[in-house]
Amino acid sequence: MPIYFDHAATTTMVEPAIAALTDAIKKLGNASSLHSAGRSVRKDLEQAREQIAQAIDCAPSEVIFTATGTEANNLAIKGLYWLGVKKNKKVIITSTFEHHAVADPITWLAEHEGAQVVAIDVDRNGFVDLKQLATRVEEHKNNIALISIMHANNEVGTIQDINQVVKIAGDIPVHSDCVQSFGKVELSFKKLGVTAATISAHKIGGPLGVAALILRKGLDIEPVLHGGGQERDLRSGTFNAPGIISFAAAAANA
């Protein structure tokens, strides 16, 4: 029997998620349509949104569905940066220990849009140097668009003290990639205190191709995708209703 040791990359779908996906994929209808078939699918989708919100302790309106964690990270980082630029804030603070889905969008903003990146060192165990973070925040406090530091590292499992990061940040928006921690450790969006957090279905026994950005209520960041205006105009594109419904089943099971 093959032995699989790469569950941090993706893991087996759990039975409740498989069952939910199997049922949902048989149901015809676009969740954005106004006819009865579309409304029926939309009802199921919104119920799934409520289940995911309950799992991460946020308001349902704070759940923004995306296709991948990478997309959610791009939406958070670019959206918050563009919001900051409107106030002449072009500094992004991050760590030297981020996943490529965080590091690469930040690098892109530096190379293409003039973002100034400040990278905070980590110790031998991967913990962010909070004293250095506090110093850099004080140095750049009037020019910081956002801080982005992951919650749990995908390679060594280090869990950062995001509450302390938020405390140091003060009024500065904080994004945290929570893809590796959601469903594995106790995680409350409210208690974490961040502005935005990223979660993904396939890390917790859900399907590939669906994730979410949890975004603080009332904050209108700049979208990356434009089109049909889904997800409060923040993420246009046809809903992957079966994937979202399966994601909710996996979240409830985690």
Span 123-163, pLDDT tens digits:
999 999 999 999 999 999 999 999 999 999 999 999 999 99
Return the bridge partners of 182, or none: 185
Q: Count up the domains in the chain and report the number.
A: 1
Q: How confident is residue 220, by pLDDT bands cut at 50, 70 and 90?
A: confident
**Residue 19: inside a domain:** no
> What sign has the CA pseudo-torsion 163, 168, 174, 179?
negative
Phi, psi of 92 (to 5 degrees): -115, 125
Instruction: Say what angle helices 100-113 and 69-85 make with each other, to 10 degrees.
Output: 30
**Residue 222: inside a domain:** yes
| CATH number of the domain residue 150 falls in | 3.40.640.10
- Given this model, what pLDDT does residue 136 score? 99
99-128 mean pLDDT: 98
**Residue 138: inside a domain:** yes
For residues 226 and 18, give the distance between their C-alpha atoms in angstroms, rounded to a whole number.
31
**Residue 38: inside a domain:** no
pTM metric for this prediction: 0.96
- Given this model, what pLDDT does residue 2 score? 87
**Residue 54: inside a domain:** no
Domain that holds residue 138: 59-239
**Residue 75: inside a domain:** yes
**Residue 20: inside a domain:** no
- Given this model, what pLDDT does residue 16 score? 98
For residues 254 and 250, give the distance between their C-alpha atoms in angstroms, rounded to a whole number.
6
Q: What is the mean pLDDT of the chain?
A: 97
For residues 60 and 52, give the distance between their C-alpha atoms in angstroms, rounded to a whole number.
8
- Please give the structure tokens belonging to residue 106: 């930040």
**Residue 219: inside a domain:** yes
For residues 251 and 254, give the distance between their C-alpha atoms in angstroms, rounded to a whole number.
5
